[in-house]
Structure 1
Amino acid sequence: MPRPLTADDFIQADPAQAKLGQLLFYDPILSGNKNIACSTCHHPDLGTADGLSLGIGEGGVGLGPKRTAGTGEDRIRKRIPRNAPALWNLGAKDLTVMFHDGRLSVADTYETGFNSPAEEWLPEGLANLLAAQAIFPLVAQFEMAGNPKENEVAGAVHKRIDYAWPILTDRVRHIPAYAEGFAGAFPHITKATDITIADIANALSAFMIFEWTSFDSPFDAYLAGDTDALSRQEKQGMSVFYGSGGCATCHAGPLMSDQGFHAIGLPPFGPGRTRRFDPMVRDVGHMGESDDLADAYAFRTPMLRNVELTAPYGHNGAYPTLAGIVKHHLNPQGKLDAWTPDMAALPEVPWLEQIDFMVWQDPRELARQRAAISIKPRAMSSGNQEAVVAFLKALTGTASVDGRLGIPAAVPSGLPVDVSQEKID
């Protein structure tokens, strides 16, 4: 059993910086075409994710499962290769690696404090790992930047990744409310031209930490000494999770993640992510970062607080339910063979249909993925499976899931703020 999480396990977020980050998080001004915000794929109404297996990024219309792929010249050219990760507890001091494949980590590889896709061009002044993560979606073509000929941000990225961040920074500098906000929230900023992309990232980080730090679930109350916080079934599931089920082998420690990488044989689909020189439609996982064959098809162990809110599950959202992903862990090979495409939450994109399941036409690639599975089958009664799912639901926070700042009514750029269709209806 892990020790309880406390506020001391998390980076302390400055409230003024968090308020500034809230506005930036919901503001499309940080996207190349000014049409998508961080909140589009990480919305609080959708558990800080988007409810899709693979996201619909730049060029899409709408929010969550009702988001469409756009039309005409503005339509999307590629699905986002992986499931949008939830944002809970990313301010944990012990967190050392991010992204499903671990391509961002705390390290001094490039003397920047981080090993990242920007290599030695990563900006200086990033306060923490989450701040470093925040700047990459802004310059990702299919996430927020757009295509090279559509806007100056995308064109700059096409030349070199760090050429785009000053353009986005300049947009923010020229909005008076942001200039005033940064001057009030950051002691080293006295005028608009002092603002850097690192300051923007640090504000975004402060907001995500302030808003989505969560350790007030029934399980957390139980760890803190309230033995009545869990039901009998939840306690049964906890016993299996930390005992015969072997779940805590990987979902270990207070954060419920070993921050390691494991190949569990999730059904492959979508465009995938692979090494730069690899033209195949597949996802090689951590090997794309480490270039080590031993890491092929291995993905980072996710943290589990609020996992009930973040369906679908897996690095590509292959399973729509907690019960489904639990069953997969018990029999990876069998569930891989039994999986069907209708289980994926993929909005229709007719012009990408051939790519969506192309990997299934390559028996050698499928054989490689099956051979890489690193977890062994386990027997578990249906009652224990139901108990484990009940325990996973007991990881859902109480007051923390509502956030502290919420969704702003408007943002300084004047661009529209994402609102869920359910609230519109």
Structure 2
Amino acid sequence: MTKTWLSGLVTGLFVPLAALAQELPPPLSDADYLPVNPAEAMLGQALFYDPILSGNKTVACATCHHPRFGTSDGVSLSIGDGGIGLGPARRADPDDPPEQRIPRNSPALFNLGARDFTVMFHDGRLEADAASPGGLRSPLDADMMQGFASVLSAQTMFPVLSRDEMAGSYNENEIGQAVRQGRITGPGGAWDLLSQRVAQIPDYAAQFQALYPHIDTPSDIAFTDISNAIAAFIAFEWRSDTAPFDALLRGEVTFEGAALEGLALFYGSAGCATCHAGQFLTDHGFHAMGTPQIGPGKSATFEDHQRDDGRFRVTGRAEDAYAFRTPSLRNVAVTGPYGHAGAHRTLAGFIAHHADPVAELQNYDPAQALLSGAVPDDFAILQTPEALQDIAATVGVPPVALSPDDIAALVAFLGTLTDEASLAGRLGIPETVPSGLAVP
């Protein structure tokens, strides 16, 4: 697909070819996605919505990744274990509150079954790597990397081991206790205990035995089998390639007005496509953009700070300080708040920040965040001049002059990435799950 269709007068807007700094990507096809077994996806659907995989049996994958909120949860920073409700209405359980918020924004799940997606999480701590054990690279031990069918499957091992996401505290349940004691793999480890829970449910046991040839009895079900099924569901359910932008790439439609103007800015003078490149509008790289930091930050048990050093925590390289992964922009209009900590509730606000990160960081208004029960501590980093200077010093991009009309046009273009079919999903939300627990 060439750029020639952009030349000419469209509703009074002239878009010269020279204004585009980057070619439009080719349209997506089946070849861009890994194949999915529909029966495996159906099993994964039940597991994705079933709280049986959380320590206290109160949190499912869908709690923080719900289709009602664009496969995220509509808030800056989630409340996992110890929360009540869903989405922006979720709040801390007064009888059993969480120890802290989840420190990073819940990412959307669209197109994670595509071949391009080989890196997971805001800091990229999980990557496909043929030279590493199990074909995966992560901060976890090598023996934990075996048996996952894909990097998408392997990412499920992190939330079930997180106290604040799904595991719960060590004094609340056997999963949280096993995690605290470092018992993850092997008999009696956290994954084994979760697998036993699933295996003891006849409906699940029958489905696993029918689906996987290596499972002869319920006791053969491993955590990797559970995660592989969940990955199949995510890949099947939220494939997104039927948005108006996709129709444009296939030559089936043209854009007019603000959407056309925004496209020209995105691929031209605004420079968005420098990082938001390719069919999924991401280079899968890591960039320091001075994004405001809110919430508890990322720190080890022995550390006492609220910073989130981003990619630096994975690589240890100074140049990776405060760098975070470029997100895909598919369905971006419905997946806010934005940024690794969800500091901006509006897309226009986030675009304005990206246009001039250093100035916007200094002038950030905490009211742009969307937090349940916000407390002053949520903004500790932003109230520390030295921390702001450190973050601003890592920004390596020059400011871009964008008028309010330019930002509105970019928002209009990004709206063409909204794919109603993927938002609705293909299997949908089940009314019940085999455990009998409440579906989020």
TM-score range, shorter chain: over 0.9
Are the aligned partners of 2:281 and 2:329 in contact in 1 as well (CA < 8 Å)? yes
C-alpha separation between the residues in 2 aligned to 1:363 and 1:108? 43
Are the aligned partners of 1:126 and 1:198 in contact in 2 as well (CA < 8 Å)? yes
Partner of 2:19: none
Are the aligned partners of 1:96 and 1:129 in contact in 2 as well (CA < 8 Å)? yes
C-alpha separation between the residues in 1 aligned to 2:139 and 2:42? 28
Aligned to 1:269, which of 290, 294, 314?
Answer: 294
> Could you list the runs of 4 or more consecutive aligned residues of structure 1 that deviate by over 6 angstroms after TM superposition?
none
Q: Quickly say closer, same or farther: Cα 1:269–1:78, change in 2 above 3 A.
A: same
Report deviation, 1:190.
Answer: 2.4
Partner of 2:256: 231
Are the aligned partners of 2:26 and 2:279 in contact in 1 as well (CA < 8 Å)? yes
C-alpha separation between the residues in 2 aligned to 1:215 and 1:391? 16
Are the aligned partners of 2:134 and 2:148 in contact in 1 as well (CA < 8 Å)? no
Aligned to 1:314, which of 339, 355, 367?
Answer: 339
Partner of 1:143: 165
Partner of 1:36: 59
- CA deviations on 1:370-403 (whole Å, 9 max, x unpaired) are 1111222011233222111101000001322211
C-alpha separation between the residues in 1 aligned to 2:235 and 2:315? 28
* 1:115 partner amino acid: R
C-alpha separation between the residues in 2 aligned to 1:275 and 1:306? 33
Identity %: 50
C-alpha separation between the residues in 2 aligned to 1:75 and 1:312? 23
Partner of 2:33: 10
C-alpha separation between the residues in 2 aligned to 1:71 and 1:403? 34
After TM superposition, list the pairs within 5 Å mapping 1:216-227 onto structure 2.
216-227=242-253
Partner of 2:234: 208
C-alpha separation between the residues in 2 aligned to 1:372 and 1:142? 29
Partner of 1:155: 177
* 1:8 partner amino acid: A
Partner SS state of residue 92, structure 2: coil
Report deviation, 1:125.
Answer: 1.5
Report deviation, 1:276.
Answer: 6.3
Partner of 1:360: 382
Bigger CA radius of gyration: 2
Q: Quickly say closer, same or farther: Cα 1:255–1:415, change in 2 above 3 A.
A: same
C-alpha separation between the residues in 2 aligned to 1:35 and 1:387? 42
Report deviation, 1:193.
Answer: 1.5
- Say whether 1:284 aligns with 2:306: no
- CA deviations on 1:77-97 (whole Å, 9 max, x unpaired) are 100000000000011112121
Which structure 2 segments of 5+ residues have no match? 1-23
C-alpha separation between the residues in 1 aligned to 2:301 and 2:401? 40
Partner of 1:246: 271
Are the aligned partners of 2:77 and 2:295 in contact in 1 as well (CA < 8 Å)? yes
Which structure 1 segments of 5+ residues have no match? 419-425
CA RMSD after TM alignment? 1.4
Partner SS state of residue 83, structure 2: coil
Report deviation, 1:108.
Answer: 4.8
C-alpha separation between the residues in 1 aligned to 2:25 and 2:292? 31
Partner of 1:187: 213
- CA deviations on 1:244-291 (whole Å, 9 max, x unpaired) are 110010001112111111111111111111466542211100001111
TM-score by length of 1: 0.94
- CA deviations on 1:303-354 (whole Å, 9 max, x unpaired) are 01101110111111111111111111111122112211121111005xxx25
C-alpha separation between the residues in 2 aligned to 1:222 and 1:89? 19
Aligned to 1:331, which of 346, 356, 361?
Answer: 356
* 1:62 partner amino acid: G
- Name which of structure 1's ranges 153-162 and 305-314 shifts more when overlaid on structure 2: 153-162
Partner of 2:202: 176
Are the aligned partners of 1:89 and 1:209 in contact in 2 as well (CA < 8 Å)? yes
Partner of 1:375: 397
Are the aligned partners of 1:329 and 1:375 in contact in 2 as well (CA < 8 Å)? no
Are the aligned partners of 1:11 and 1:92 in contact in 2 as well (CA < 8 Å)? yes
Partner SS state of residue 193, structure 1: helix
C-alpha separation between the residues in 1 aligned to 2:152 and 2:422? 19
* 2:320 partner amino acid: D
Partner of 1:422: none
Partner of 2:124: 102
C-alpha separation between the residues in 1 aligned to 2:228 and 2:213? 13
Partner of 2:193: 167
* 1:76 partner amino acid: P
- Say whether 1:93 aligns with 2:115: yes
TM-score by length of 2: 0.91
- Say whether 1:58 aligns with 2:84: no
* 1:146 partner amino acid: G
Are the aligned partners of 1:148 and 1:158 in contact in 2 as well (CA < 8 Å)? yes
Aligned to 2:150, which of 113, 120, 128?
Answer: 128
C-alpha separation between the residues in 1 aligned to 2:420 and 2:430? 22
Aligned to 2:42, which of 4, 19, 43?
Answer: 19
C-alpha separation between the residues in 1 aligned to 2:72 and 2:367? 20
* 2:321 partner amino acid: A
